[in-house]
Amino acid sequence: MVRLNGTTAVSVKGRASAVAATSTPPTMRISNVSEQGLAHLSTQLEVQVEFIMMATKVMFMARILVREQNSLTISLPTSLISIERRKNARFTSTDELTAYLDFSKWRPSGDDQTTQPHYPHQIEVASYLAVADLSFGGLCAVSRFPSSSMLLKRGIIDDGAKLILPLQEPLPVAVEIRWIKRIKESVKVGDDNEIRQLRSYRFGIEFVTPSDQVRLRIRQFIQQLSQAGAI
């Protein structure tokens, strides 16, 4: 990611494709930069560069030395702004990139007034719980309806759950519910900004010995989330 001195939320995505460590000055080539990204950086000499990896984020300031079609050549830094390390760093889902968890141990009943509204032909997806955030180690699932929290209790292990990622076939996963929280929040609704209380139920989920395929799919989804909003 490349940003204008780190002062804007707009970031430009690219890929480090070559490093000339022995040149004067040492340089790095960033390729796969979009035309919109090049235009966004057209008037800037100094930029903030961020390398976002699975559990590490490295940031440094650099100067743009050369602008070419779909690529930039920047100077290598003499020092770093920061290195952030987290075990199983969590990444937040977005409206455009939404994932779901489907428990096999819970299915909403058609006459249950405490479950999300659905038509009979939607029963297969009525049990989906939206994923608020996820990591390699687990995820946080959320629902605004209490029916799921009445059956899904802390300590339950579900060997037949499924993780549904965007544009992917459902992935079989074994999960354990580590914690459950009931949250009440105040939101403004309507043209008159009426304050209403909304309640949600959050489930802390841990993956139980995830397979290599599950880890690969999660890695791909995290890469999509980390680049969400970039041009």
Paired sense of beta strands 15-20 and 138-143, if any = unpaired
Per the structure block, which two tokens stand in for 218? 């999660």
Percentage with pLDDT > 90 across the chain = 21
Superfamily of domain 91-226: predicted glycosyltransferase like domains (2.40.10.220)
pLDDT in tens, 46-87: 888 888 765 677 888 888 999 888 899 999 887 777 666 656
Per the structure block, which two tokens stand in for 176? 């354990």
> DSSP string spanning 204-222?
EEEESS--HHHHHHHHHHH
CA distances from 204 to 114, 131, 154, 156 (A): 21, 10, 9, 11
Using an 8 Å Cβ cutoff, are 63 and 102 in contact?
Answer: no
Looking at residue 141, its pLDDT comes to 93
Above 90 in pLDDT, residue 161? yes
The span from the CA of 134 to the CA of 148, in Å, is 19
Using an 8 Å Cβ cutoff, are 215 and 209 in contact?
Answer: no
Percentage with pLDDT > 70 across the chain = 85
The span from the CA of 8 to the CA of 13, in Å, is 14
Paired sense of beta strands 56-68 and 157-164, if any = unpaired
The span from the CA of 52 to the CA of 14, in Å, is 11
pLDDT in tens, 133-146: 988 889 999 988 77
The span from the CA of 205 to the CA of 225, in Å, is 19
